[in-house]
Amino acid sequence: MSTCRPGCGACCIAPSITSPIPGMPQGKPAGVRCVQLDDDHLCRLFGDPRRPAVCARFDFDIELCGDRREQALQLITRWEHATQ
């Protein structure tokens, strides 16, 4: 396992999140940018106990994240569609 790609944020955009997020009490639909994702594509809730558990479970994985941000968005979107 490696650390997340700085400035990626694909896991904060591509998947749906059904648990409440501060600022998004109903969660978020797939493809919608989380309100907690800052302009540098970093989570404002990283390390904060209010961060949803599902978000904390996302780790960098080459199969999920690919080699670059654009590939991560595509791969996570495919996984999202496959699991609906």
pLDDT tens track for 28-64? 999 999 999 999 998 999 899 999 999 988 888 888 8
How far separated are the first and last CA of the chain, in Å rounded?
27
Side chain identity at 10, as an amino acid letter? A
- pTM, two decimals, is 0.85
User: CB-side exposure of 47: number of CA atoms within 13 Å?
Assistant: 2
Supply the pLDDT for residue 2. 53
Q: How far apart, in whole angstroms, are the C-alpha atoms of residue 17 and residue 26?
A: 9
Does residue 22 carry a pLDDT above 60?
A: yes
Q: How far apart, in whole angstroms, are the C-alpha atoms of residue 33 and residue 41?
A: 10
Sequence length of the chain is 84
The predicted model gives 1-29 an average pLDDT of 89
Query: What residue has token string 């650390």?
Result: 3
